[in-house]
Amino acid sequence: MEFEIIKNERLSEEYFTLKHPSGLKILVYPKEGSHSTYAMIGTHFGSINREFIHNGKKITVPDGTAHYLEHKLFESEEGDAFKQYAKTGASANAYTSFDTTCYLFSCSEKFDESLEILFDLIQSPYFTPETVAKEQGIIGQEIKMYDDSPEWRVNMNLLQAMYQEHTINKDIAGTVETIAEINPEILYECYNSYYNLNNMVLSVAGNADPQKVLEVADRKLKMNAPVQTESLFPEEPYSVGKDYVEQILPVAVPLFALGFKENAGKGFATTKELLCTSIIQEAFAGEGSALYRDLLDKKLINSSFYTEYSEGNGYRYLAFQGETRYPSEVSKAIKEAVIKLHETGISAEDFENAKRCVYGRIIRGFDRPSSISAELINGEFTGRDIFEGAELISGITLEDVNTRLASQLDPDNCCLSVIKAITEVT
């Protein structure tokens, strides 16, 4: 059993890939000069996966189940995994996103022992009525913390207003009411449906030796027969559900998020589509853009302003976010600039400048083992190779970008989410 080497001559970079007999896909990306190792294992199961078919049976789970399962996997009959990591000196964590759940650690020594803990963690589910009930209070506190976070609420309020049917409009952690419905049977159902090693990916980057990774895998991984799990998503209309939503929270400066919804369909955006969108974002609203300078000069935004593009199975949107005391004026200015952009297209000069900025960000990403590890897993789940962006960007043309622009930033299909300060309404 040997690793396949994936090389990129342009970048002088390479990584190793192997399908382990257990079913797990293993990716190892050694970085010369790195003194630490970053390891991550992920499954393509996130908060949007509320309905699925497993072994011919249709299953619907409460909001927040994927996040709840992430919490519970750290607890086994042998004890808490965090305590085990403390003995090896590794820094461990996990996260649940809309699309994935990942478990990770970084270390500068005792890598083998830390990887063994990671493998045990994802292969040893231990759910009892008592332990599941105990977790409800912990996660309930986390939900309340998110409910009080202006940065989180401005985003979730935006998604809940934009998306009428798709489950991206549900909080990742669920609500206190929905997590009360979760029991051991539901957690085991999700675990057996999505935590099969044939559906998971391990990525290791930094000070990494492929053979050492393989030795631990051979020693610890159990054989998994493949399973078939089909995720189900409702049909989502093109139009936003609401064009405005607001909430009052104790903030010093109000927050805004202006989201432009797109047609998504099933599957994921291609690397070329993502590159074109990144160039549009940089040319239209990057720090060197005319729009950014104009908004800054008029004191409509500050340095917190940024753009973000999010896409997944059944959803795609581009959002402009930041602090402002004048959310309506910012929204109006951006939408007017969007209309003008569609009339004129992106200029050749702005295109070239933006393209160089995007390429620079791609190259810098290969300096960070944490970024590499996450991108390797994301690539496996979306069908995009980690080197693809660097290879394709030189061939992206102005025509490609303006063609992509035609399907983005629809000024008639957007929503403004605002977090107002308490003082504004008293």
Please give the positions annotated as active site: 70
Two structure tokens written together for 228:
């078939």
Instruction: Find out whether 192 and 227 touch, Cβ atoms under 8 Å.
Output: yes
Contact 392, 271 (CB under 8 A): yes
DSSP string, 294-359: HHHHTTS--TT-EEEEEEETTEEEEEEEEE-S-HHHHHHHHHHHHHHHHHH---HHHHHHHHHHHH
Distance (Å, whole) CA 50 – CA 167: 7
In 3D space, the residue among 117, 116, 105 whose CA is nearest the CA of residue 36 turns out to be 105
Strand partners of residue 171: none
Phi then psi for residue 287, to 5 deg, are -65, -20
User: Strand locations in 48-113, DSSP E?
Assistant: 51-54, 57-60, 75-76, 79-80, 91-96, 101-107
Please give the backbone phi and psi of residue 183, each rounded to the nearest 5 degrees, phi first.
-135, 175
Beta bridge partners of 137: none
Q: Which residue has the tokens 């057996």?
A: 192
- Do the beta carbons of residue 33 and residue 205 sit within 8 Å? no
